[in-house]
Structure 1
Amino acid sequence: MIEPLTVYTLPNCVQCTMTKRALDAAGLPYTVIDLTTDARALDLMKQFGYTSAPIVVTRVVSWSGFRPDWIAKITAARDHPSLTSK
């Protein structure tokens, strides 16, 4: 099973909404953190060099913006038996 992703968002962010819809459609679990209400998270994302939302963080990769290509890669990795079996 794939670990939940973390999606850092802003209110009224079209790319954030599109990202969450794509993650939902792919069946990928995620946690949402609103950068307008979590100053610590906002500072951390700035330290990592991100300047736009959404920011998606996984155990091995992170990105900002609406990236259906990355969502597809994570979905494929989740669905590939040799990558998820222990």
Structure 2
Amino acid sequence: MSQPVIVYSTANCSDCNQVKQLLSEQGIAYEVRDVMTSTDYQEEVEKLGFMGVPVTVFEDRAVKGFNLPALKELIEAAAR
């Protein structure tokens, strides 16, 4: 079993919601990590080299924002 897809997000973040909707539509299970509720999650995002959300992570891939081409590649990798 591979790692889950992780979506770092915040409440009321439209790009975050678009990412989660896309993953759901593609049948990809994901874990939501709300950076406003955990300093650990915020630090994880910063360690990846990002300051904002959404950041979608699968294995060694991290996609910032709602970047559809990059998200599609991540989804293909996660679907294997």
Conserved 8 A contact 2:7-2:57: yes
Conserved 8 A contact 2:7-2:32: yes
Q: In the alignment, is residue 17 of structure 1 matched against residue 17 of structure 2?
A: yes
Query: How many equivalent residue pairs?
Result: 80
Conserved 8 A contact 2:56-2:62: yes
Aligned to 1:70: 70
Conserved 8 A contact 2:58-2:74: no
Q: What is the TM-score when the length of structure 1 is the normalising length?
A: 0.79
Q: Point out the structure with max Rg over C-alpha.
A: 1
Q: What is the Cα deviation at residue 76 of structure 1?
A: 3.3
Alignment partners' CA distance in 2, 1:78 and 1:18 = 18
Runs of 4+ in 1 over 2 A off after TM superposition: 74-79
Aligned to 1:40: 40
RMSD: 1.8
